[in-house]
Structure 1
Amino acid sequence: MLNVISIILGLLSLVIVIPATIPLLGWANWIALPIIVIGAVIGQMSSSNSGRNLCLVVMVIAAIRLSIGGGVI
């Protein structure tokens, strides 16, 4: 059950992160990052790794976009 919750949070954050790659929408990554972290923590408590891995991949995408835009110092 925790894995399903983690996957849902990962997909929700992916829906936020994909449009945030458009210029001037990078602020949406700051909204998605807390959701991603919560999903990764819930996925870590699960017996399966797929939800956690999805959240980590989305986190890397958001972090790369933020670093390109100068949002991460």
Structure 2
Amino acid sequence: MRVLSLIFGILAALGLILGLLPLLGWLNWVFVLPPAVLGLVFGALSRDRTATTLSAVVAILAALRLMLGGGVI
């Protein structure tokens, strides 16, 4: 579960890098938030603090980017 959570967190972080670029904020809905939430769930099940923290930070940054871009009202 720990490895699976880290994989989802890293994939979400890579998607977040692309989602921070202008005109690519929609990627946060498709490629960042779902894997970050899955990483949070698997991290919580495995009780691994590192994987949970990584996924939480990525999800918060993606949500912040969506709010700033008008994607979440």
TM-score range, shorter chain: over 0.9
- What is residue 21 of structure 1 aligned with on the other side? 20
Q: TM-score, normalised to structure 2's length? A: 0.93
CA–CA distance in structure 2, aligned partners of residues 55 and 7 of structure 1: 8
CA offsets, 1:9-62, max 9 Å, x none? 000011111111111000000011111101100100013211111000001110
| 1:31-50 matches, cutoff 5 A | 31=30, 32-50=32-50
Contact 1:3/1:49 (8 A) holds in 2: no
- What is residue 61 of structure 1 aligned with on the other side? 61
Moved over 4 A (4+): none
* Residue ranges of structure 1 left out of the alignment (5+ in a row): none
Q: Percent identity?
A: 44
CA–CA distance in structure 2, aligned partners of residues 69 and 13 of structure 1: 19
In structure 2, give the amino acid aligned to 1:22.
L
When the two chains are superposed, the root-mean-square deviation of aligned CA atoms in Å is 0.8
In structure 2, give the amino acid aligned to 1:10.
G
